[in-house]
Amino acid sequence: MEKIVFLDSASIVADVRRPKFDHRWEEYPATAAGQTVERLRDASIAITNKVVLDRDTLEQLPQLKMVAVAATGTNNVDIEYCRERGIVVSNIRNYSVHTVPEHVFMLMLALRRNLLAFRADVLNGEWQKSPQFCLFTHPVRDLHDATLGIVGFGAIGKAVQQIALAFGMQVLIAEHKGAAAIRPGYTAFDTVLRDSDVITLHLPLNGQTRHLIGAAELEQMQPGALLINTARGGLVDETALLNALQSGRIAGAGFDVLEKEPPAEGHPLLDLNLPNFILTPHIAWSGRAAMQTLADQLIANIEAWAAGAPQNRVA
C-alpha cells in the first residue's frame, strides 16, 4: 500500500479528494526544513508545493517513488537527482490561465491609471479642495495603443496576450535572451525591453532565468515603462529594481513575488512606500476556481502514476 504525505497542505485552499486506490494519507499544514525527512521516512509519494526536496533530503528517502508538486514551478525539487533515481516528478499545468492574467491586468491598470496615488489624494482631502469637479494631480495613461512586451509565452503568456489585444494594445513576444535567431512571431529580447510600455514576466525560475532582469535590462527600458512580475521573484534582481524605482529610471512596477518567500521583516521592497510600486503576497495564482483545478489535477497526477501511466512529468 502506498503512503502519501502532503507536506504543506495549507498552501492551497480547496477540496483535495483522496486517490481512488488503496493508500495511507498523512498531511501537515506546513513543514519546516528540519522536519521533511522524518515526515517522509516511510512515504512512497510526497506532495509538496514549496517545501524543498533537494539532493541531501532525497538521498535519505530511498523508498520514495513519486513527487507530486502542487504547483507549476519545480525549482524546489532536485529534478536531476530524481531522474537519476527514477523518482517520477509531476507538476500542475495550465490551472491558472485565467486568475494570473487577471492579476496582471489589475496591477497594470492600477499603475497606468495611478490608482494608489489618486486614492491617497482623496484620503488626504485633495479632491475636496479642488477648484473644479476633477483632480489632475497625476497622469492617467490608457492601455489602448500601448505596447505590451510578454517575456515567456506559455499558456499564461498566451492568455495575457488575448486580454491585451482586447484592450487594443500592441503586443511583442520576447525571444529568448541572447538567442542567435528570432523565431517567426517573436521579437528580439533587447528590442522588447526598449520598445515596450509594459513588460510582463511569465517564466519558470531556473539557472538560465535567474536575474533575467537586472540593472542593464532596466536601463534599456523606457523611463515611462512598467515591469510586472507574477511569475517568480528570482527572475528580477531586487536591488536593481529598488534602485530603478527610487531613481525614477522606470515609471513603476507591480510584483506578486519576491526572491525569498515569505520575506523577512525589513526587506527593502516591503518598506518601499511609493505609489508607483504595488506588491501583493504571491496570490495571483490563488483564485478559488484555479486552486480547485490545481487540487483536482494533483490527485489525477498521483492516480495516473499509480496506474502506470504518469502524466505531467518533469522527471
Catalytic residues: 232, 261, 282
Give 291: exposed, middle or buried? Use CB within 10 Å, 0-12, 13-18, 19+: buried
Dist. CA 213–CA 303, nearest whole Å: 39
Strand order in the sheet with 66-69: 23-27, 2-6, 45-48, 66-69, 88-90
Q: Which of 158, 137, 138, 134 is closest to 148 using CA atoms? A: 158
Burial 57-74 (b: 16+ CB within 10 A, else e): bbeebeebbbbbbbbbbb
Strand order in the sheet with 147-151: 170-173, 147-151, 198-201, 226-229, 252-255, 277-279
Q: Pairing mode, if any, of strands 252-255 and 2-6?
A: unpaired
Strand partners, 89: 67
Residue 69 DSSP class: E
- Centre a 10 Å sphere on the Cβ of residue 207 and count the other Cβ atoms it contains: 6
Cα-to-chain-centroid distance, residue 155: 13
Alpha helices by DSSP H, the chain: 36-39, 55-58, 79-85, 99-112, 115-123, 155-166, 189-195, 215-220, 238-247, 288-306
Sign of CA dihedral 235, 240, 245, 250: negative
| The length of the chain, given as a count of residues | 315
